[in-house]
Amino acid sequence: MNSKTMNEIRKKNQLDKESALQKVFELILMGVKVKNPELLHIRGKIICGKNVKIDLNVIIEGDVTLGDNVSIGANSILRDCKIGNGTIINPYSLLEGSVIGANCFVGPYGRIRPDVSVGDHVSIGNFVEIKNSNISSRCQINHLSFIGDSDLAEQVTIGAGVITCNHDGVGINRTIIEQEAYIGSGCNLVAPLKIKANATIASGSTITEDAAADTLSIARSRQVEIKNWKREKK
């Protein structure tokens, strides 16, 4: 590569950097609080409300809309998404093709995949992944859970480490969870499945049949205790 080509590449890179910084400074002039202008990467279009805060190393791609009082944590990626007023996106979260309501809490390390709609006042814990689902208002989805191809009504609680088993090896099936249902930690919900209103699923259960309203479902092996057991030694 000759010196002329190298100079042209340097010039283009400098122009690209200046153009990107110009977009950031336009946000700052509008009142957006950017932690470090050189570490906000705008690769698409962003619309911000009032009192928005954006931390270090955030990447914006596609069309992104942030409501009033939104906070975006460091090292997060937002791609083609809309985030409602007062919502906090904690560090290292990836959101794409989704709509997040007002006063929600996501992450850290939240993964919101395309075709997800989240209502208001929803808490999505660390290392939670959601895909192709509708999450109604005031739901709580705790850490290390996977919610895929599901419809959650209002005030559903999902314990830690819950998995909606949406793929049966041939096709994708949906899980429907009605209002105020409670899913204990470490459960597997094997779709297609419906959990009716105010049903409770005991922790550690693998649920393969619909759960009726106002019931407790337990689907796990009974604990067996063998006395005087001695482990083999190396």
For strands 88-89 and 105-106, give the pairing. Answer: parallel
Active site residue 121: no
- Neighbour tally for 115: CB within 10 Å: 14
Is 216:198 a contact under the CB 8 Å cutoff? Answer: no
Query: Is the CA virtual torsion 177, 179, 184, 186 positive or negative?
Result: positive
Tokens of 116: 């997800």
Residue with tokens 């005030």: 155
Set 41, 121, 143, 167: catalytic member: 143
Give the separation between CA 130 and CA 150, rounded to whole angstroms.
9
Cis peptide before 91 (omega within 30 of 0): no
Question: What is the set of active-site residues?
Answer: 143
